[in-house]
Structure 1
Amino acid sequence: MPHTYTLTKQGMLYPSFFNSMRHGVHQGLATSAREIQVRGETLTLTKDEPDLPEGAEVEVWVSRFFHCITLADKKAEDKARADHAAETRAREKQAIDEAKAQYTAPAESLIQQSPDKQALTKMLEHLFTERKAKHEVYSRFWRSADADKKHQSNIAYEQMCVINEAIVCLSRYMKGILAEKGLKIATAYPYSPNEGARSGHYSPGEYHAVILNLSGLFVGRLERSAGDALCKPADKFKWLEHNDKAYGDVTCRHCLKKMANLTNQKGFK
């Protein structure tokens, strides 16, 4: 951090000068090692301050006392901040690219292989486990004042977004397979009184798969009526909003698991 010098006004401090200095930052010049000239007045370094480089350009402001910083130090600080921001962006991009190779690419590759329910379930469980681990890092450090920990939180959030993209890829694939077999699914969101308020940070609910077939769904022990979510009946939610037009993507872990199991069915009435 560049050094901030504290200044004082020797002799009479005219109200007009003080009022002109109260707001904003003002350009000054170090006329000697201990004095600067600003707006026609001379300010002096307090006795505990080190000497200024003579002839240095400075920025002066008022915050209880007069303070200044050399323009050279300010430019160096601005460059250091810009370099750090660029480095941070590069690290975040690298983390995103690595996450795509680790999560999105395998999910897309699996889809190309026309997977069975066991392969789909295994991939989904892996993705949800990884997302939970990333979310723990994100929620642990998202309020941290430490720059490195905050950066970890940001990286974890970006990785969560990539994992969500991989989950959505599988969700759309399974939804298409089930539609071909006659099972119509819409996406529904379960609103709650504490929407997004958990833990103080953004924590949206999951989107559920809702049965649109008027005859419902009856497969083994799984029984659902039209309008029910795959994971549980509609009356188990406070408010499950959906319509007859499929929108959004299913992200509920339990709904997706049941969708994976249903992909092995020959057809639906």
Structure 2
Amino acid sequence: MFDQTSFSLAGKVAVVTGGARGLGKYYSIALAMYGADIFVVSGSQTGWQAVRERVEQLGRRIEFLHRDITEDGAAAEIVAAVLEAYGRLDILVNNAGIQRRNDVLEFTDDDWRRVIDVNLNGLYYLSHEAAKVMVKQRQGKIINIGSMQSYRAGKRIFPYAASKHAVLGLTRAYADALAPYNIQVNGLAPGYIETDMTKPLQEDPVRGPEIAGHIPSGEWGAPDKLMGPMVFLASDASNYVTGVMLPVDGGYLLR
């Protein structure tokens, strides 16, 4: 039943991969604003102190694990660490991602493997481990971060485009499989947002204005535009929504 508490995340524990920098920082803060305790997994300690201070200002707990999600056994170790710290796992945000940009013939096999390992394989294995816990709890939310390249071609970032198309498919497959256990699996597909990852595009004298001109509002998005949609997908307000990749793009895909 929908009421004023439907967006509350009080008593919930959220894991956010890459949750201390870029868009991940905004996801961690948004979830904490609505009552969740946070567990950040990242391959570096960049941004840890800043996000810790913000989450603790909100009166929530935050823990960190320095771990490469692509390494063998990492997913099981991450879930075990969350359970040791908090005793439960309610929300998984698969945010960690990388991008390699080059002309098609200049990409190396190592570039391909690294992008697929982080953006797709790491997401798959961590979702698999988290689902084991959520099935026992008979509730949970898995939120995968897609991209405009979940829908479109990316001729200079084709490993990234391939991985994000796959994330869309995996989101749907997990949603179907886990629905009987009251677990909703959805995704966010950020549009062209002002981040470090998109900085080369923002500064490109040709592509930057082209992209802005393609967005109905005429503007790149600010990172905080993703915070509300994240809270919605993590909360009980979205309990009858599953298998959806929600574009947060200012209407970019309309054109």
Structures share fold, TM-score greater than 0.5 = no
Task: Answer 1 or 2: higher relative contact order, Cα 8 Å, separation at least 6.
Answer: 2
Q: Indicate the structure (1 or 2) with the bigger Cα radius of gyration.
A: 1
| TM-score (normalised: structure 2) | 0.31
| TM-score (normalised: structure 1) | 0.30
